[in-house]
Structure 1
């Protein structure tokens, strides 16, 4: 099938490339000329394991192309995939400006029947609006179906080829069958429903996963006060098939381009129909506060952080991606700077992205974990990159001014910590907290505690 993909972000680029790998003739369109030039030249603007090799192979085979000419790409297409970004407006609603603009351009290029599939995350009722808009601008036949994506950054290629399910929302049986047939080589688990339900499935799924994360983080906070171990609690909970073990990893909260945006949007969707989504509002509040626990632990240890040097390990919102959008590190680093600290930051992949958005005169950009830790009063592990968990603790202690380790992702266990001489604190595992490495204070600073609670 001749497929045109509108948008070359995570969803569009991964989806288009994977459809090309399945043998389809795919053209990906983006208005960003620099991005298209990059892709045409064989480079990839995002970090996604396995994607570069797929792009190179399919481009060389002639199945995958890139252009800024949306009109020409639509004219040649049998199916058009909408993968345009829908960022949050200040009030939390999804901004549909770019999506509606793309539909207007598609209308002007319609020359025959097109199957239009919306993979962008959109509020309930959006596809009906897009259908009405397109129908008002063209007399050519078309169908619009909702096919929400459920890709995880860092494993998007794998998720595309091995999805848990494909959701297809269609108001006409033939259109739903065509969209299902296109995706059937990926899985037989295809759930066909109406368009509005498909739109809601995406928001409800992400909101539920965000809820699990905030829930286990609240449990972790209680565990710290009652002496329980959140990892043991999560393991026991996960054995219940009604609950499951996924998304029960305590830490400093979720980030990225999906969960924060979609949770806010669903709250706004509910508000627009005069319903207050109290539960999801609490989920968002818990997540916003959870990341600052790292800063609170440092302040309990040192009191005033002015002049302190804090190493930050991890800037991406999760490992295996260079995406720093709504990463907990953004707020944590900003809070440290506001308190007068100096930051030494590192990330295996995301450092350039973070630096381009959040550069500061008191941030030193470092090449690896040990360089970042040099002369530091504390290390804060914020992203669970495997190289951070594998660091030699002996060398780490030698590099630091004070042996203090705040583990925001629970990467170190009791065996690794035994005898290492660190003041250590994790999330919801009070038995692992260590008071060794008593912090010697410079003459101009006095701590209000000499251990981490």
Structure 2
């Protein structure tokens, strides 16, 4: 069996590499010639732990290839995955499907024999029907089936999520497509991972529902954190107390600066728009979006408050720029709001991130980028921890303090114990916990 993966972004590249690790022949195709050249040279354009080794290994074995020739990749394939971007459409928040349909027209022109066309991109419910119509219009005589196979990959742990998933959701009513998809995912049957076959509409909606529910947990615990600060409770203990309930679960109950990244922000908004158009509004998810937006907008105000009511003329260190650790993804990262607001208020911001600075330099030219955490805090009036990279978890606090002009630490990820930070001489504040 041979796969064509259309799009070598985060999902396409990870999925293609992992399928090739299963022993399947995979050709990843992309219109971006510079990206393909880098991949052909063994350079992976995104940071994801383990991905470079996986790509190198399977490319050397001949199971994974990269090309700009979409037509040749499709012509040889039994299964074609469309894994292109679906950003929020400017102006109305709906998912922009133009890249999906453009890819579909190219696929239609090159298909040979029975072909399973799979949407791996996150698309609104009903997209499978539209995609089938586009393919049929472009290639009336073609023999194909359209399948929805949403991804559930977490940046930073995507390879493990693909290899050992909680579930695989496949939306199709075509028996030939079901058989091919079942064979494609056969290695997961051997480790008894559930493969759920549904209708296309159900599969499409499942992806959005999953992301919306997880985003809701984040907004919920952040609002609980605000309440904890007012009544003297500890949000981490609250999260543990409710998370140990099997009906609730412990994951995504970590108070912080709000969710970001490539999925939750755009997917929650797209789901809200889809529901409104269907005449079945999702009031709960609308509130989740509003709560998260307000949280990110309010972060700089917290910092200003801890700095005496003004940051004009002050220097602030920001540790962590990506929306989460173990990725270089800056999309919708809370640091974007924080740094923009602080510099607009007259502060100088010195920033450091282990992987995100190449992209951050493009987005935040007003920041001063530093070599490490200790370099970033030099001469600063306060340090703000925004992303919980492992290297920030065990900093030498006395050394950190010795480099600063004023020892204020604002820990938006609750990675330090307040008593320890205070003992090191810091005026310390965190999220949803009593001050030491």
Spell out the pairing of 1:4-83 with structure 2 (5 A cutoff).
4-83=4-83
Alignment of 1:248 onto 2:281: no
**Separation in 2, partners of 1:186, 1:366:** 43
Alignment of 1:226 onto 2:226: no
SS of alignment partner, residue 17 of structure 1? helix
What is residue 290 of structure 1 aligned with on the other side?
Answer: 295
**Separation in 2, partners of 1:286, 1:47:** 29
Spell out the pairing of 1:203-282 with structure 2 (5 A cutoff).
203-282=208-287
Could you tell which deviates more after superposition, 107-116 or 256-265? 107-116
Alignment of 1:404 onto 2:408: yes
**Separation in 2, partners of 1:268, 1:181:** 36
What is residue 310 of structure 2 aligned with on the other side?
Answer: 304
**Separation in 1, partners of 2:315, 2:419:** 27
**Contact 1:294/1:380, CA 8 A, preserved across alignment:** no
Residues 374-433 of structure 1, C-alpha deviation per residue, up to 9 Å, x if partnerless? Answer: 011110100000111211000111111110000000000145325111111100001xx2
TM-score normalised according to structure 1 size? 0.93
**Separation in 2, partners of 1:120, 1:294:** 32
Query: 166, 184, 193: which one pairs with 2:198?
Result: 193
**Separation in 1, partners of 2:353, 2:390:** 11
Query: 346, 349, 372: which one pairs with 2:352?
Result: 346
Residues 272-327 of structure 1, C-alpha deviation per residue, up to 9 Å, x if partnerless? Answer: 11233221111111111223443222222322211111100000000000000000
Gaps of 5+ in 2: none
What is residue 372 of structure 2 aligned with on the other side?
Answer: 368
What is residue 156 of structure 1 aligned with on the other side?
Answer: 158
How many positions carry a matched residue from both structures? 430
TM-score normalised according to structure 2 size? 0.97
What is residue 446 of structure 1 aligned with on the other side?
Answer: none
SS of alignment partner, residue 310 of structure 2? coil
**Separation in 2, partners of 1:285, 1:44:** 36
**Separation in 2, partners of 1:427, 1:364:** 26
**Contact 2:219/2:292, CA 8 A, preserved across alignment:** yes
**Separation in 1, partners of 2:421, 2:165:** 38
What is residue 171 of structure 1 aligned with on the other side?
Answer: 173
**Separation in 1, partners of 2:88, 2:197:** 28
Alignment of 1:382 onto 2:377: no
Could you tell which deviates more after superposition, 235-244 or 270-279? 270-279
Gaps of 5+ in 1: 435-453
SS of alignment partner, residue 158 of structure 1? helix
**Separation in 2, partners of 1:269, 1:175:** 27
**Separation in 2, partners of 1:39, 1:358:** 27
